[in-house]
Amino acid sequence: MRIMLVAFGTAGDVFPLIGVGRALGKRGHEVHVASLPDHQSSVERAGLISHVLRGIPGIKGLPDFYHPRRSMRVVAERLLIPALEPIYELLSTLNPAEWTVFANSQAYGARIAQEKYGILLTTFIITPFALRSVQRMPVTPGIACPQWMPLVVRRAFLGVATRLWDRELAPALNAFRKTLGLEAVKDIWYDWCLSPHRVIGLFPEWYAPNPGDWPAQFRYGGFTVFDEGVSQEVPAELAGPGNPLVVFAAGSAGQAAADFFQTAITASASQSWRAVLLTGEPVNSSYTPLPANVFRYSYVPLSQLLRLSSLVVHHGGTGTTSLALAAGVPQVVVPFGHDQFDNAVRIEQLGVGRRVLKSADLSRQLRMTIAQILQDHSLSTRCRALAPSAAVDASLTAVCEMIEADVRSGRIGRG
């Protein structure tokens, strides 16, 4: 197959698709990846052909990215709407008879190209939070609607979310559709964005059981996150014997990450564990001087570091969550926003970690929770038992086989 993967957004949005792309490439397919300039080097290191999407401001480090209300406008204006035309124009150059397209659910230009040209499109869903369900209500930041609320209230709650997204997305998206002779659409975030032929969730069923009202074309894949730089060695000061390793990671969260790491330093100072801060950014002088038991790195491959670790404390991103599950390491989730609150609840329900919500005494809460988990051997046992079910290699094989079977059978048709 000749494959175009469209993956943009944060690293958590992009790396699972890079993992799929690399696996497809190893199976003999020609794989291209269209993404933002920030991810070009990651795409190329995975051995894939990169197409850089230009003119998209992006959302990295923006202070409102995690705001419960303003984040909608930020994501729409700086990512989703600017990406419409670049993605559509790229895909409009492909011969639909020769190419198959895979895109994450916010690649609206791919969905429009499917309607306009009949391209073969599969939608990848990175997190179950992106699938609407009144049977299993998502856990949201800010205002929440508990599962025990009456069905009519749950439907109204999700209806409001749908209308708020349409308010931000529909004017520009439908204006572009009009120039192409296409009718206006609505329910963009939850419904229209999904390919009517196939939707694959890049998470396993045991992590997010189907509540019964997800789209009929949905299928499970499994965790597929790509941990770039996997050949990089773990620093000797971490690989050697010593007190338990506690890893702190926060994705590409800007100021929220800086606050998180400062809290991690305060919580870990003079404690009986070695704290490892994976900042994802060049060293920030505001973190210095560090206590003797705290180490800071821009990047160390989590897939290797977690094998040596006793605990990982993170923001609840799907990538970090899945790597920790695969490594059999207990988790403490401190969610910042978006799907991270939902992921934190799933981790607790699986019995493999705890969630700690932000508060004025967060450092004290973290210190106490870490100490408790390091002494709770039953939690580690549960994590190790579940780890084989989260193996990335097995998931990648399953996703690739599903994709190949879809294309062979013609079940992915023209939109």
pTM of the model: 0.91
Beta-bridge mates of residue 412: none
Per-residue model confidence as pLDDT tens for the chain (415 residues): 899 999 988 888 888 999 999 999 999 999 999 999 988 988 998 899 999 999 888 777 677 777 767 788 889 888 999 999 999 999 999 999 899 999 999 999 999 999 999 998 999 999 999 999 999 999 988 777 888 899 999 999 999 999 999 999 999 999 999 999 999 999 999 999 999 999 999 999 999 999 999 999 999 999 988 775 555 678 888 888 889 999 999 876 555 678 889 999 999 999 999 999 998 765 555 556 899 999 998 888 888 899 899 999 999 998 899 999 999 999 999 998 889 999 999 999 999 999 998 888 899 999 999 999 999 888 999 999 999 999 888 899 999 999 998 888 765 444 4
Q: What is the pLDDT of residue 134?
A: 94
Please name the residue ranges forming H helices in 108-254: 108-117, 151-179, 236-239
182: its two tokens? 């296409």
Q: What is the pLDDT of residue 236?
A: 83
For residue 208, what are the CA distances in angstroms to 86, 125, 326, 353? 33, 12, 16, 16
298: its two tokens? 């821009």
| DSSP characters over 322-338 | HHHHHHT--EEE---ST
Instruction: Tell me which residue has tokens 């180490």.
Output: 295
For residue 316, what are the CA distances in angstroms to 39, 113, 347, 353, 378? 21, 33, 9, 11, 22
CA–CA gap between residue 8 and residue 202 (Å, rounded): 15
Q: Are the beta carbons of 14 and 35 closer than 8 angstroms?
A: yes
Q: What is the pLDDT of residue 254?
A: 54
Q: Which residues contact 414 (CB under 8 A, 6 or more apart)?
A: 96, 114, 118, 119, 120
CA–CA gap between residue 7 and residue 275 (Å, rounded): 33
Q: pLDDT tens, 198-250?
A: 999 999 999 999 999 999 999 999 998 877 555 567 888 888 888 999 999 98
Phi-psi region of 397 (alpha: psi -120 to 50; beta: other; left: phi over 0): alpha
